[in-house]
Structure 1
Amino acid sequence: MSETNVVPITAGTGRRRAAGRRRAPAIPAGIPLADLIPSWKLALQSANKSLNTITMYLRTADRFVAYLAEHGEPADAESVAAEQVRAFLVHEQEKRGLSTAKSAHAYLGVFFSWLIDENERTTVSPVLAKDRPKIPTKARTYVSVEEMRLLIEVCKGSDFTSRRDTAIFYVLFDNGMRVGGLTGLRLDDVDLQGHRLRIRLKGGMEKWVPIGNRTAQAIDRYLRVRARHNLAESPWLWLAARHPTRLGIDGVQGMVKRRGEQAGIKGLHPHRFRGSSAHQLLAAGASPDDVKRILGWLSDSMLRHYTEELGDERARSAHARFSPSDRV
């Protein structure tokens, strides 16, 4: 055989190695995401996140891992790409709705940011801002002063339930308290002489929020009838009328909806009072910074989110009071 027909082994080996390098994945496989979720849970607990927040985060991570496994996609910390996250968000939207998909985007963003901080992922997060599901803006429904008067009217009475419901409506309308903060109130969180209530925030923080004269009076009337309740020694402020327990979130939501229907207000829920309170405070002359402190918002964007729609109404009211031509 002629030497010219001999192919050196080293050359062939080199070609095979080159081809092998081209087929190799660009990013090495990392630790399986399922194995990292328990560590993330510990990190969330260490950061003093609320139990509800931790539960929502972990459920989303578990569903994401299950989705990857079901579709034969890589499910380790290094290999997951934006395409897999994007497909999962579409899946969530189709199965659970747009709002759930938007929340999943946020929760996975926190998860992958933690992976990067812990050096479990060496590349950028696959959760991209441009992939955040966009929820169409809908007109926000507010509780007007007239509707508030109707609610107080249907709660009129001196019995336990009437006074309790009246007091709850006054608190919701007065400072826009979240329903979780409302139901978490204890007797020692009430300072009627100081016109304030103490609420417990996420992470164990506490904050005193103001109440007006009528709210303080409504709570005082409720406390007097509450003293005759068979659970009067309970530390919780709001008690159920027919069951030996405190009034929880479901109870408040059910009461608000029921009273709303009695007053001719369909689909009423506690959170609707939040924007209403902020709007009323601004319309009465409170500064944006005051409103943020009362409602517990840290950013101007949250204030705009809840009150911008009624900005023109407040502007017209202000113009009626300060019209330049009226001073001529």
Structure 2
Amino acid sequence: MTSDLDDIRELAEDFATELRRKNRSQRTINGYLKHIEYFRAYLAANELPTTGPAITREHIGQYIESLLTRTNLRTGEPLSPEYARGQYRSLQQFFKYLETEEIIEVNPFDRMTQPDAPERQVPVPPLDALKRLLAECAGTNFEDRRDTAIIRLFLDTGCRRGEIAPLSVDALDFAENTATVLGKGRRPRTVPFGDKTRTALRRYLRVRAQHPKAVNDEPALWLGKFGPMTDHGIGQMVERRCQAAGIEHIHPHQFRHFFAHNWLDNGGQEQDLMMLAGWRSRQMLAKYGKSVAVDRAKAAHRRARLGDQI
């Protein structure tokens, strides 16, 4: 027998409480809750049960299949397999929690496998495009100084957008030329930056000091017209700057791929890259900058000149 307490919308709030206890970031929690709500909406629309104990493997399979055949309402293009895989993983963790709490007797994800998705290579932005992007922000007004500092910090540290966006002024250390960011799993790490980034940040801080929010002791580093910028706002800024520069759109995460590729291409050690990027798995080394791995291999071969030594 089930009750309203077993409705997955109610159970999702309990799941969120557990995630907060585990010190998961609010962004991560919101992602789980969004996917669970999408699933519940699908169940309700198809007159399927929405209570945890009544949901079966077949219900989940039907939902994943619907995602793989659905189109984006804005573009008309099919949703990517990665989108379905992301929702699969979120629901899998949710039902694992329900099983642990003994809310369900049988986990419908047992012996299920996530949908296949071809690995997509993220293109590394060409150097010329990045130079044009920075040139587009070369003015001296508040937004130019801010946007230059944001883009240079991305390129110089390889940080994620979710790490750059919530930075506070106090996170910057100009004695060491470092920034302290909060990475995945809410793990802090310190990332260094170079002289050009330092100059861009110092120039921004000088104009930031005149911002109305800064006068009111706002701790957030990045300020917009109405207050602190969000990670979404930073993404919009990059898109707007790319359009103005007349270059192909660059997603902020591509800066991270550029950083990883550049590091390896210049002979940087893989272990150091893992520490700087906040990775625990060496699998990430293969993923980032993979689209230009062949170019790095060719350049290494030319440097080695193996055939010429015989």
Common fold by TM > 0.5 = yes
Say yes or no: does 1:236 pair with 2:213.
Answer: no
Of all paired residues, the percent bearing the same amino acid is 30
Whether the aligned pair in 2 keeps the contact of 1:174 and 1:277 (CA below 8 Å) is yes
- Higher-Rg structure is 1
Superposition pairs of residues 79-158 of structure 1, within 5 angstroms = 79-93=54-68, 94=70, 97-98=79-80, 99-126=82-109, 128-130=111-113, 132-158=114-140
Instruction: Tell which deviates more after alignment, 266-275 or 59-68.
Output: 59-68
Matched residue, 1:9: none
Quickly say closer, same or farther: Cα 1:248–1:115, change in 2 above 3 A. Answer: closer
Amino acid at match of 1:304: A
Whether the aligned pair in 1 keeps the contact of 2:99 and 2:105 (CA below 8 Å) is yes
Say yes or no: does 1:179 pair with 2:161.
Answer: yes
Matched residue, 2:75: none
Deviation at 1:29, TM superposition (A): 7.6
Task: Please give the per-residue CA displacement for 1:240-278, whole angstroms capped at 9, x wherever unaligned.
Answer: 2xx242232233222211221232212222111111111
Say yes or no: does 1:162 pair with 2:136.
Answer: no
Matched residue, 1:51: 26
Match of 2:282 among 289, 296, 300: 300
Whole-angstrom distance in 2 between the partners of 1:168 and 1:212: 13
Quickly say closer, same or farther: Cα 1:88–1:148, change in 2 above 3 A. Answer: same
Deviation at 1:33, TM superposition (A): 4.2
Whole-angstrom distance in 2 between the partners of 1:286 and 1:165: 28
SS at match of 1:157: coil
Whether the aligned pair in 1 keeps the contact of 2:136 and 2:241 (CA below 8 Å) is yes
Amino acid at match of 1:219: L
SS at match of 2:251: coil
Deviation at 1:279, TM superposition (A): 0.5
| Structure 1 unpaired stretches of 5+ | 1-27
Whole-angstrom distance in 2 between the partners of 1:145 and 1:231: 35
Matched residue, 1:20: none
Aligned residues: 298
| Structure 2 unpaired stretches of 5+ | 73-78
Matched residue, 1:312: 294
Matched residue, 1:67: 42
Whether the aligned pair in 2 keeps the contact of 1:67 and 1:88 (CA below 8 Å) is yes
Task: Please give the per-residue CA displacement for 1:25-67, whole angstroms capped at 9, x wherever unaligned.
Answer: xxx9898343533332321222222223222322332333443
Superposition pairs of residues 252-271 of structure 1, within 5 angstroms = 252-271=234-253
Amino acid at match of 1:59: K
Normalising by structure 1, report the TM-score. 0.80
Matched residue, 2:179: 197
Superposition pairs of residues 10-29 of structure 1, within 5 angstroms = none
Whether the aligned pair in 2 keeps the contact of 1:113 and 1:125 (CA below 8 Å) is no
Whole-angstrom distance in 2 between the partners of 1:75 and 1:248: 33
Structure ranking higher on relative contact order (CA contacts 8 Å, 6+ apart): 2
* Alignment RMSD: 2.6
Quickly say closer, same or farther: Cα 1:142–1:68, change in 2 above 3 A. Answer: same
Quickly say closer, same or farther: Cα 1:168–1:68, change in 2 above 3 A. Answer: closer
Deviation at 1:173, TM superposition (A): 0.9
Task: Please give the per-residue CA displacement for 1:83-121, whole angstroms capped at 9, x wherever unaligned.
Answer: 211101122342663344222201110011112222233
Deviation at 1:188, TM superposition (A): 0.6
Normalising by structure 2, report the TM-score. 0.85
Task: Please give the per-residue CA displacement for 1:116-164, whole angstroms capped at 9, x wherever unaligned.
Answer: 222233334426552x233344442212222222222222233322222
Quickly say closer, same or farther: Cα 1:153–1:56, change in 2 above 3 A. Answer: closer
Whole-angstrom distance in 1 between the partners of 2:120 and 2:182: 31
